[in-house]
Amino acid sequence: MKTVDIIYRYEVGGTPAKPLPSDSNAALLRLNDGNRDFAALLDHVKDESGVIQQIIPVDPRDLGLVSGSAGVPKQRPFAAILGCSDARVPIELIFNEGPNDLFVIRVAGNCLGTEVLGSLKYALEHLGGTLKLIVVLGHSGCGALSTAVDVFLNPGDYLTFAAKHSLRSILDRSLLVVQASANKLISEFGSDIARNPGYRQALIEASIVTNAALAAYSIQQEFVAGELTELRAVYGVYLLETREVWAPRLGNIEGVGLSAVPHDLAGFVDLGNAVVQSDRIRSYLKTGE
């Protein structure tokens, strides 16, 4: 088995490591490229022996390491990312980014609560000079969505949350997405699909995508639409299995990389179709073509 070194390299007095993306497209490209490199680095790690190295250059200014400066770096992230608290999804690492690159908010199920919206509003109002993109990142096997699916499938379990207001608030936000995802699976495969042994897992994974897309849509509507800004919201799902970001979409149902947010209801219908037609969701149901 190989040894893998992922190294943050600061060169004091050197030139800035990476230029900031000039617009949302450049920011999106940088995150997608960074994730692809991270995933590729570990792809063949079990195949051979030896050492592979990934060096992430870091601008010395981001740690106050430039002589003659006041020493306190100015905050200048190019993307704000709302992700899940899940310990298996370290946001900077999976996008090959370092300090001062990303404004990260992590909360179970990447739910849009009041404090999350407040944090995003702060970022937009104070970091607008460099901030180009808002990302909602779900992940496969998310515990928050898994719990919501289990309650959806066995509504009596909701009673166990009667005295747990804080957990219930996360659950309540997710149930609508689970309901919509269940409707989509049944309209695609028929009502018997609910008896398929892989139905629960397919419903969890379909709900995770839709949950991220809906949160990104809400952010787009609340903060971006109608504003004279180049900022935009995108979404994706980090796959623990392959370490890639996944976002199936119309015309690219196996979609790798972050995706633009659906514009309207028709866009969500297209997204729902892409999700249930993707090989990944079908693989749980074993209903391949």
For residue 170, give Cα distances in angstroms to 28, 111, 118: 28, 7, 17
Q: Which stretch binds Zn ion (CB under 5 A): 69-77, 135-143, 194-202, 280-288?
A: 135-143
- Residues contacting Zn ion: total by CB under 5 A: 3
Kindly tell me which of 28 and 84 has the beta carbon lying closer to Zn ion: 84
Kindly tell me which of 27 and 89 has the beta carbon lying closer to Zn ion: 89
We find the least distance from the C-beta atom of residue 139 to Zn ion, in angstroms, to be 6
Question: For Zn ion, which residue of 142, 219, 231, 247 counts as binding (CB under 5 A)?
Answer: 142
82, 137 Cβ separation under 8 angstroms: yes
HSE-up of residue 111 (Cα within 13 Å, Cβ side): 23
Kindly tell me which of 131 and 142 has the beta carbon lying closer to Zn ion: 142
CB under 8 Å to 213, separation ≥6 — which residues? 136, 235, 247, 259, 261, 262, 268, 271
C-alpha torsion angle, residues 236, 175, 185, 280 (rounded to 10): 30
**Taking CB under 5 A as the rule, which mask of x and - marks residues 49-88 in contact with Zn ion?**
-----------------------------------x-x--
We find the least distance from the C-beta atom of residue 59 to Zn ion, in angstroms, to be 31
We find the least distance from the C-beta atom of residue 137 to Zn ion, in angstroms, to be 10
We find the least distance from the C-beta atom of residue 254 to Zn ion, in angstroms, to be 22
We find the least distance from the C-beta atom of residue 242 to Zn ion, in angstroms, to be 17
- Residue (of 95, 63, 64, 65) closest to 80 by Cα position: 95
We find the least distance from the C-beta atom of residue 276 to Zn ion, in angstroms, to be 21
Kindly tell me which of 84 and 281 has the beta carbon lying closer to Zn ion: 84
Kindly tell me which of 139 and 184 has the beta carbon lying closer to Zn ion: 139
Q: Which stretch binds Zn ion (CB under 5 A): 38-46, 113-121, 141-149, 275-283?
A: 141-149
Q: Which stretch binds Zn ion (CB under 5 A): 142-150, 182-190, 199-207, 222-230?
A: 142-150
How far, in Å, CA of 193 to CA of 200, rounded? 10
Question: By the criterion CB under 5 A, which residues form the site for Zn ion?
Answer: 84, 86, 142
